[in-house]
A and B are shown apart, each in its own frame.
Chain A
Amino acid sequence: MSNKVIHVLYNDDDILMDAVKQTRAAHHHIEEIYTPFPVHGLDKAMGLAPTRIAICSFLYGLVGLSVATAMMNFIMIHDWPQDIGGKPSFSYIQNMPAFVPVMFEMTVFFAAHLMVITFYMRSKLWPFKSAENPDLRTTDDHFLMEVAVSGDESQLVSFFENTGAVEVKVIEKH
């Protein structure tokens, strides 16, 4: 069982999109696509599941709101319920308007940062991570589709050459 893949390079996003549709129609498994910029609709064409990162962000925001409320309720109402300029500190709701700015900011802070950290973790991005795009041109003006080889190799190569590719390579993957 060989671990061969085909690297098909395109130099146009529309040709890539058509090629993805053809490849899917022919039931070849697309392992990965590397593009220099977001190609709209590519994820749908590839059949990728939608990302749930916005849902995460919403939940993180709720955490931020809870942290802010709990913190200010403890500090301002329970720990030192002092009179600062006549502000009522008998219960949280009484002095609530003064707490809104911090409640808001902490909601945004948690929602934004934890979502970005989630994105970096899920997509495996961090400062000393080495790049994994197989061809340097994919950050400039080329689009690379990686397809697993199964069955007749030469037939696959000619299939992809007919999809408007500028280059088709068979790669042994470790």
Chain B
Amino acid sequence: MSSHYEAPIRKPLIIGDKNYHDVTVDVAAPVEGRANKQWWIAFSIALAAFLWGVACVSYTVGTGIGTWGSNKTVGWAWDITNFVWWVGIGHAGTLISAVLLLFRQKWRMAINRSAEAMTIFSVIQAAMFPVFHMGRPWLAYWVMPIPNQFGSLWVNFNSPLLWDVFAISTYLSVSLVFWWTGLLPDFAMLRDRAITPFAKRVYSIVSFGWSGRAKDWQRFEEVSLVLAGLATPLVLSVHTIVSFDFATSVIPGWHTTILPPYFVAGAIFSGFAMVNTLLIIMRKLSNLEAYITVQHIELMNIIIMITGSIVGVAYITELFIAWYSGVEYEQYAFLNRATGPYWWSYLLMMTCNVVSPQVMWFKKIRTSIYVSFVISIVVNIGMWFERFVIIVTSLHRDYLPSSWTMFQPTFVDAGFFIGTIGFFFVLFLLYSRSFPVIAQAEVKSIMKTSSETYKKLREQGGHDNHSHSEHNHH
């Protein structure tokens, strides 16, 4: 134990008197137990919302995109707003599992599994919008460069919408294998604990025969590290490419070079807010308060505060550049955002995204679970409006005043969005009852440095010189 020195200033990440077996039992409990009434109520609501979404999408595909509120001027509205919103939410998962891994942040261990699940489930939601906002979604496979009987007729690699196809499919598939590889040791733990033959069979299949050999662990750690190294530029590039949908256009309000980093910052901002929303509920329902502690919530709040401030700087930069550019169209685009018919959405976006994260400067607020929960939802509302404002206010009034119009969503627009929220929660609720929601193998590896038990033991034992000689070997 003497080899596990950690500065005494660091607070424990695992609260209570826990040993390795306790971690196993606590993580396995929600999977091995039965769902309670609250779970079934939440699941029913989510399923109903999902089915309503399926109905709305079927209606759109069967009847046409004209069932939506989009019009000749505002060709993109809720569809792409929701797409960007969901992609953005997905980004925090990769941030937590990849970037925080590269920075050796031990607090990520308890939250990375759920954050990655959130990534995968929200990217699935996002991926539906590019398909179903097509006028002819049954021809969606034409976006792929497949040799064909038209000559061959290929795709055009100049379009950011095609880059999106490559970005989103790479992002989803890489996130999926990253997540699954990390799950193998935890599925193996559930497999080896399983009592019913059915559970044993299922967890045997999904754990791929993981046996935890020293060589397997060595490769596992290297693979995790390289995947983290690949996922970090990937996550930055994906939202960058999504931002190119707007930034490479000629529309005033869209054509800005700040969009790539500003979208990425916004994605981390909204993604962390969503992680906070989900984990605050989950730690309570799954009895994981010993692992997802107030310190975890506080650290996520600090990231929300930092990225919220970056987003705020980006807003001000855009405003300054609009004024500084001397381009009337650009100046009008921002004047229209602030004082036009959608002023309320701009105000909402500014309030939720710029003002609300600033309260996190107060320790009392950022360590309060209730306030964190409220702010996390406020942030996601604000970030939805950010995408809405960027998309709709730039389109509804641009170069030709004769093309100026308004946008009014229909119930089908709303139904599709509600459906994706429902689908997301259907997946997340099923996940929370069948998957190990905490990466127990990783949590066990920080037990000696960061658990309350061992920190107390170290304090009692005092400081011995042996630890230094141990360290010098590395």
Chain A residues at the B interface, C-beta cutoff of 8 Å: 11, 13-14, 17, 32-43, 46, 48, 50-51, 53-54, 57, 71-72, 75-76, 79-80, 84-85, 87, 95, 98-99, 101-102, 104-106, 108-109, 111-113, 115-116, 119-120, 122-133, 136-141
A67 vs chain B, min Cβ distance (A)? 11
| Least CB separation from A80: chain B residue | B154
Q: Are A51 and B222 in contact (CB under 8 A)?
A: yes
Interface string of B199-223 (1 = CB under 8 A from A): 0000011111111111111111111
Tell me the complex Cα distance, A48–B211, Å.
17
Q: Are A136 and B206 in contact (CB under 8 A)?
A: no
B442 vs chain A, min Cβ distance (A)? 7
Closest 8 CB pairs of A and B: A129-B209, A141-B20, A125-B208, A101-B163, A136-B192, A133-B211, A37-B441, A37-B444
Q: Are A105 and B170 in contact (CB under 8 A)?
A: yes
B166 near A: Cβ within 8 Å? yes
* Set of chain B residues within 8 Å of A111, measured between Cβ atoms: 226, 230
Q: Are A34 and B20 in contact (CB under 8 A)?
A: no
Q: Are B167 and A109 in contact (CB under 8 A)?
A: no
* Set of chain A residues within 8 Å of B160, measured between Cβ atoms: 101
Tell me the complex Cα distance, A52–B48, Å.
49
Tell me the complex Cα distance, A101–B188, Å.
38
> Size class of B's contact patch?
35 or more
Tell me the complex Cα distance, A140–B448, Å.
16
Tell me the complex Cα distance, A111–B158, Å.
24
**18 new A-B pairs (CB below 8 Å) besides A32-B213, A105-B241?**
A11-B20, A34-B212, A35-B214, A36-B20, A37-B442, A39-B445, A43-B215, A43-B217, A48-B214, A54-B226, A72-B157, A75-B155, A102-B163, A108-B233, A129-B208, A131-B188, A136-B193, A139-B193
Which one of A11, A46, A76, A140 lies within 8 Å of B214 (CB-CB)?
Answer: A46
B234 near A: Cβ within 8 Å? yes
Q: Are B217 and A51 in contact (CB under 8 A)?
A: no
Q: Are A87 and B20 in contact (CB under 8 A)?
A: no
Residues 396-445 (chain B) with a chain A CB within 8 angstroms: 440-442, 444-445
Q: Are A101 and B237 in contact (CB under 8 A)?
A: yes
Q: Are B211 and A132 in contact (CB under 8 A)?
A: yes
* Set of chain A residues within 8 Å of B210, measured between Cβ atoms: 125, 131, 139
* Set of chain B residues within 8 Å of A141, measured between Cβ atoms: 19-21, 24, 444
Q: Are B221 and A38 in contact (CB under 8 A)?
A: yes
A44 vs chain B, min Cβ distance (A)? 9
Q: Are A51 and B219 in contact (CB under 8 A)?
A: yes
B284 vs chain A, min Cβ distance (A)? 26
Tell me the complex Cα distance, A53–B3, Å.
28
Tell me the complex Cα distance, A97–B338, Å.
34
18 contacts between A and B (CB under 8 A): A32-B213, A35-B217, A36-B20, A37-B20, A37-B444, A38-B217, A38-B445, A39-B214, A48-B215, A51-B218, A79-B152, A85-B158, A112-B231, A123-B219, A125-B184, A127-B208, A131-B209, A131-B211
With A13-B448, A105-B167 in contact, is A113–B214 under 8 Å at CB? Answer: no
| Least CB separation from B208: chain A residue | A125
Which one of B167, B217, B441 lies within 8 Å of A101 (CB-CB)?
Answer: B167
Q: Are B157 and A99 in contact (CB under 8 A)?
A: yes
* Set of chain A residues within 8 Å of B72, measured between Cβ atoms: none
A25 vs chain B, min Cβ distance (A)? 15
B113 vs chain A, min Cβ distance (A)? 14
* Set of chain A residues within 8 Å of B185, measured between Cβ atoms: 36-37, 139
* Set of chain A residues within 8 Å of B16, measured between Cβ atoms: none
Q: Are B214 and A112 in contact (CB under 8 A)?
A: no
With A51-B222, A116-B177 in contact, is A126–B208 under 8 Å at CB? Answer: yes
Q: Are B191 and A131 in contact (CB under 8 A)?
A: yes
B314 near A: Cβ within 8 Å? no
Residues 215-260 (chain B) with a chain A CB within 8 angstroms: 215-223, 225-227, 230-231, 233-234, 237, 241, 244
Tell me the complex Cα distance, A53–B383, Å.
39
* Set of chain B residues within 8 Å of A106, measured between Cβ atoms: 166, 170
B333 near A: Cβ within 8 Å? no
Q: Are A109 and B211 in contact (CB under 8 A)?
A: no
Tell me the complex Cα distance, A116–B241, Å.
25
Q: Are B204 and A98 in contact (CB under 8 A)?
A: no
Q: Are A119 and B193 in contact (CB under 8 A)?
A: no
Of A35, A36, A42, A71, which is in contact with the most chain B CB atoms at under 10 Å from its CB?
A: A36
Residues 133-192 (chain B) with a chain A CB within 8 angstroms: 145, 152-158, 160, 162-163, 166-167, 170, 173-174, 177-178, 181, 184-185, 188-189, 191-192
* Set of chain B residues within 8 Å of A113, measured between Cβ atoms: 173-174, 177
B474 near A: Cβ within 8 Å? yes
B95 vs chain A, min Cβ distance (A)? 16
Q: Are A140 and B205 in contact (CB under 8 A)?
A: no
Of B154, B160, B217, which is in contact with the most chain A CB atoms at under 10 Å from its CB?
A: B217
Tell me the complex Cα distance, A83–B440, Å.
55
Q: Are B211 and A116 in contact (CB under 8 A)?
A: no
B466 vs chain A, min Cβ distance (A)? 11
B49 vs chain A, min Cβ distance (A)? 32
Which one of B163, B174, B244 lies within 8 Å of A108 (CB-CB)?
Answer: B174
B41 near A: Cβ within 8 Å? no
Tell me the complex Cα distance, A98–B244, Å.
11
A58 vs chain B, min Cβ distance (A)? 9
* Set of chain B residues within 8 Å of A137, measured between Cβ atoms: 192
